[in-house]
Amino acid sequence: MFLARVEGSVVSTKKETSMNGRKLLLLRPQLVDDKDPTKFKAGSNTIIAVDAVGAGIGELVMFCQGSSARLAAGLKDAPVDAVIIGIVDTVDVLGKQVFKASSQS
């Protein structure tokens, strides 16, 4: 599992039929900063993921990739490589809370 910030949405009207009705979101992975492990830094890549939990733009989410993504409900036969599996409430690193959902805008 990985952490990411939801940066936007993706709309595709023509797609594989098993993907119809699925909400697609654009994610930017969040990494623990090497210089200050109590902070995150944005990854350099973006990922399109199926939203399985009702996430929104700006939220910090957990996602999984690869064959694990198809283990989410209803995705067994879908050509999915990434799926959002949780909306993060808090993150603690080295005994310090570095993220709390209610304190984010």
Q: How many domains does the chain have?
A: 1
Q: Give the DSSP H or E segment for 92.
A: strand 90-93
CA 61 to chain centre: 4
Give the residue, 29 or 71, on which the prediction is more confident.
29
Q: Using one digit for the tens of pLDDT, what is the confidence trace for 34-71?
A: 899 888 999 999 999 999 999 999 999 999 998 787 77
pTM over 0.75: yes
The domain spanning residue 59 has which CATH number? 2.40.50.220
Does some domain include residue 104?
A: no
Mean pLDDT (the chain) is 90
Q: Which of 44, 56, 45 is nearest to 81 (CA)?
A: 45
Cα distance between residue 26 and residue 12, in whole Å: 13
Cα distance between residue 42 and residue 25, in whole Å: 16
Query: Is residue 98 scored above 70 in pLDDT?
Result: yes
Does some domain include residue 105?
A: no
Does some domain include residue 48?
A: yes
The boundaries of the domain holding residue 29 are: 2-99
Instruction: Give me the mean pLDDT over the 7-21 stretch.
Output: 91
